[in-house]
């Protein structure tokens, strides 16, 4: 039996399959956090490992001028008949394979050599990304231990299909309410129908979304962000013989990083003109692509990576809000994340690992 | 003490106040039905009284050629802070005063002399008119004992403010559903928004109802029926980050007695064009005013009563559906029925009684 040399590369694809086998639906990340912590302590002895709740942070303290933060969430959405990993040749099927056990595997493999990187490196494994903002582990870390997540560039291993997805759009939910006056529906003219009153605004919103695609694009740093505004809920009426006195809609607007939350809110309110009350339910800022930032430019340029805007909101905006340029780069197709058909390929996981290793100076050049 | 002669007229206003004091919310009519039954047996010995559930029918069997059916429901809507009757001078305030304890009092007073009428008379006191069709006492009687409610003209003591409200409009409820395709609201173009799809139809319906009043009128027998179509419910959306795949509306159309249910449905479907599915939830036919019917003409003409169309659906349509001309004529303002401010005046109750007594030939001529 030949002893394994320490330089034998970790099989990140096999590791991803192992991680998919560890259930970690949001709020149930303890087992996978334990696994990550134990593995880091065993395979990356040069790193300082900190456990806070089910968040695990492993950091080098090599005294480099710049620090790269690499992050990934440990949780998955609920299983959808795909809880058990299934490897077919070089394809890994199963819950979290793309979002984002593949990325967690890449981070664990990078950890083994992070002490040799040309930057200081912080590896951040965190809980509860797939659920309400209040539970988000990265939010907890920024609030309680910001020094653990500070750095000069953050890369999140969200599934991007090997693209760099730069920045992200902001998201804003508002409720618009329309009032009316109840009356018997046999004499509706004695009242005022709140649902009928909402019709104009609904038509305006539907027409706004039906505009040509080019009118929905907003360019930032040369990237075209496609904005959107959707009515995601509507409710009105109390009884089948009563003219309704209230109708409420919830609108979700996704806005390019050209706009602040306040600007996005104002633009949305213009489209909702006619509503009696508009209430902001929640708002998360957009994150700029920061393509002119030297570290971002180096990451993209040296490795000649393809870049596109991130349309969904991700935790890159949390880094951006703390002044840290951030981007998404990971394995797996974002379109199939959260679907029962979720999968990731060996090529994707190994490719993601190779790019990051080269950027950190701990791997061979990517061809 | 002077013995009361049998001809001392009953104080119908005081009787109405007494009846308001007997709670009879729908499904709880036993106490008032008992009271009605006992009183009929005591004060109208010539009548044949039949009790079926909480329905009470009192009939003459005098052998006249024609029979007049006089009907009123015993139940009320739920109390609204107005359960206790309050008499202020000649005004009776309280739940059911207009709808329709005043009418019940009139029927009980008429019963005392019904045996002397120039027609045969059937007095029908019934339960559960203010709730779902399936509980309606008149429906039960037509189904189980149609001979008890048969006749040549039916007059319902619904509150009409002393007008003859002839016929009634039909009512039709339909659900219209719009389909879409779910997608993440960050990428709405991957799906199709069902609420946005409904916007065109909503606008069409709202515009239809915003037409000038004269375009909403349909003349039948010279009466102008004002039709209407209201969206009474709308619902759509499942989560704030998901493009909704369904939106459903419920529409209530009130249609003039020119149209059959089938015609009303077809007209409604034209307005709903664009919906993926249209389902009829319930439909009640309109009742024709029948102003040319000899008995109707005699009732209105001899007494020179003011006539207007009935816009709400009432049980006159049930009589009409069984081939019996029917109209609404009662005391109390229909606009304040079902409100906490419900009331009826002595003049209204006594006036209603006087008109009906004259028509039946058991009272002095109304001036």
Task: Please give the pLDDT value at position B367.
Answer: 59
Q: Average of pLDDT values for A80-95?
A: 95
- Give me the pLDDT at residue A89, please: 97
Contact B241 A250 (CB under 8 A): no
Mean pLDDT of A332-351: 92
Residue range A260-272: mean pLDDT, rounded: 97
* Residue contact A281–B195, C-beta within 8 A: no
How many whole angstroms separate alpha carbon A145 and alpha carbon A140?
A: 8
Which residues in A lie closer than 8 A to residue B250 (C-beta atoms)? 237, 240
Sign of the alpha-carbon dihedral angle for B204, B209, B214, B220:
positive
- ipTM for the whole complex: 0.82
Please give the share of chain B, as a percent, with pLDDT higher than 90.
86
pTM for the model stands at 0.82
Peptide bond into B288 cis (omega under 30): no
Mean predicted lDDT score pLDDT of chain B: 94
Q: What is the pLDDT of residue A324?
A: 96
pLDDT at B237: 94
Residue A307 pLDDT greater than 90, yes or no: yes
pLDDT at site B1: 34
The answer to whether the CB of A170 falls within 8 A of the CB of A313 is yes
Q: Does the pLDDT at position A3 exceed 50?
A: no
Over 70: is that where the pLDDT of A4 sits?
no
pLDDT band at B335 (very low <50, low <70, confident <90, very high): confident
pLDDT average, residue stretch B101-116: 98
What's the pLDDT at B105? 98
Q: Do A200 and B203 touch (CB under 8 A)?
A: yes
Kindly list the residues from chain B whose CB atom is less than 8 angstroms away from the CB atom of residue A247.
Answer: 234
How sure is the predictor about A302, in pLDDT bands with cuts at 50, 70 and 90?
confident
**B231, B284, B309: best to mutate for the A interface, most A CBs within 10 A:** B231
In this prediction, residue A241 carries a pLDDT of 87
Answer whether residue B4 shows pLDDT above 60: no
Catalytic residue among B29, B112, B129, B158: B129
The Cα B135–Cα B36 span in angstroms is 20
Contact at 8 Å (CB) between A155 and A356?
yes
Predicted local confidence at residue A367, as pLDDT? 59
Quote the mean pLDDT of chain A.
94
SS3 state at B128: coil
**pLDDT of res. A7:** 55
* Mean pLDDT of the region B297-326: 92
Determine the length of chain B.
367
Judge contact between B287 and B220, C-beta under 8 A: no
* Residue B328 pLDDT level (bands cut at 50, 70, 90): very high
pLDDT over 70 percentage in chain B: 97
Cα A114 to the chain's mean position, in Å? 24
Residues in chain A: 367
Please compute the mean of the pLDDT values over residues B83-90 and round it to a whole number. Answer: 96
Residues A41-56: tens digit of each pLDDT: 999 989 999 999 999 9
Residue A6 has pLDDT above 60, yes or no: no
pLDDT of B302 reads 83
B243-293 residue pLDDT tens: 999 999 999 999 999 999 999 999 999 999 999 999 999 999 999 999 999
Tell me what pLDDT residue B326 has. Answer: 95
Q: Tens of pLDDT along A197-248? A: 999 999 999 999 999 999 999 999 999 999 999 999 999 998 888 899 999 9
Residues A244, B232: C-beta atoms closer than 8 Å? yes
Which pLDDT score, from 0 to 100, does residue B85 have?
A: 95
Residue of B nearest to A202 (CA): B199
Q: What pLDDT score does B80 carry? A: 85
B75 is catalytic: yes
Predicted confidence at residue B71, as pLDDT, reads 98
């Amino acid at each position: 039996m030949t002893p394994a040399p320490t330089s034998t590369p970790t099989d990140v694809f096999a590791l991803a399959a192992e991680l998919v086998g560890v259930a970690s639906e949001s709020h149930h990340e303890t087992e996978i956090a334990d696994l990550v912590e134990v593995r880091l302590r065993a395979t990356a002895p040069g790193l300082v490992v900190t456990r806070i709740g089910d968040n695990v942070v492993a950091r080098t303290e090599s005294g480099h001028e710049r620090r790269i933060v690499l992050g990934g969430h440990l949780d998955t959405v609920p299983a959808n008949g795909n809880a058990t990993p299934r490897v077919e040749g070089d394809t890994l099927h199963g819950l979290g394979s793309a979002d984002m056990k593949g990325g967690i595997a890449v981070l664990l493999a990078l950890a083994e050599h992070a002490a040799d990187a040309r930057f200081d490196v912080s590896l951040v494994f965190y809980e509860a990304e797939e659920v309400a903002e209040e539970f988000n582990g990265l939010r907890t870390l920024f609030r309680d231990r910001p020094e653990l997540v500070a750095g000069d560039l953050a890369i999140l291993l969200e599934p991007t299909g090997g693209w760099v997805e730069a920045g992200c759009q902001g998201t804003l939910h508002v409720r618009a309410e329309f009032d009316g006056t109840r009356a018997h529906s046999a004499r509706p003219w004695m009242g005022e129908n709140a649902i009928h009153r909402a019709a104009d605004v609904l038509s305006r919103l539907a027409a706004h979304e039906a505009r040509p695609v080019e009118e929905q694009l907003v360019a930032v740093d040369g990237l075209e962000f496609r904005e959107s505004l959707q009515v995601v809920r509507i409710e009105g009426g109390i009884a089948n013989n009563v003219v309704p006195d209230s109708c409420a809609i919830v609108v979700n607007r996704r806005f390019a990083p050209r706009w602040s939350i306040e600007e996005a809110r104002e633009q949305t309110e213009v489209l909702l003109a006619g509503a009696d009350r508009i209430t902001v339910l929640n708002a998360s800022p957009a994150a700029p692509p920061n393509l002119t930032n030297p570290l971002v430019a180096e990451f993209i340029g040296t490795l000649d990576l393809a870049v596109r805007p991130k349309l969904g909101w991700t935790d890159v905006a949390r880094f951006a809000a703390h002044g840290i340029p951030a981007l998404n780069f990971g394995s797996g197709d974002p379109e199939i994340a959260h679907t029962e058909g979720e999968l990731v390929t060996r090529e994707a996981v190994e490719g993601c690992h190779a790019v990051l290793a080269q950027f950190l100076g701990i791997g061979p050049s990517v061809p």
